[in-house]
Amino acid sequence: MFNFDFTFNPMDFITSLPIMGKGMLGIFLVIMVIYVTIVLLTKIFKNK
């Protein structure tokens, strides 16, 4: 019943590092855009 069909390729760790970089960069960029937007919103619509 066991289906032990996965492979073991340590080099795949290295080859997938660029995706990690792209993903982390993507998250930081989106978060920075949201951050700037929040700061602007807070400044424009601050409680008087």
Partner 1 sequence: MTIFKDLFFNVINVDIPTVIMWLIGGLLIYLAIAKDMEPSLLLPMGFGTILVNIPLSGAINQMNSAGQEVEGAIETLFNMGIANELFPLILFIGIGAMIDFTPVLANPKLMIFGAAAQFGIFFTFCLANIFFTDLEAASIGIIGAADGPTAIVVANQLLGEDSAITGAIMVAAYSYMALVPIIQPPVIKMLTTRKERLIRMDNKNASVSKLTKILFPIVVTIVAGVVAPSSVSLIGFLMFGNLIRECGVLDSLSETAQKVLANLITIFLGLTIACQMEAEKFLQPSTLLILGLGLFAFIFDTAGGVIFAKILNVFLPKDKKINPMIGAAGISAFPMSGRVVHKLGLEEDNQNFLLMHSIGVNVSGQIASVIAGSLILSFFG
C-alpha 37/C-alpha 41 separation (Å) is 6
Burial class (CB in 10 A: 0-12, 13-18, 19+), 15: exposed
C-alpha 46/C-alpha 41 separation (Å) is 8
Q: How many residues bind partner 1 (CB under 8 A)?
A: 37
Min CB(40)–partner 1 separation in Å: 9
Subset of 10-29 contacting partner 1 (CB under 8 A):
10, 12-13, 15-17, 19-20, 22-24, 26-29
Binding site for partner 1 (CB under 8 A): 1-4, 6-10, 12-13, 15-17, 19-20, 22-24, 26-35, 37-39, 41-42, 45-47
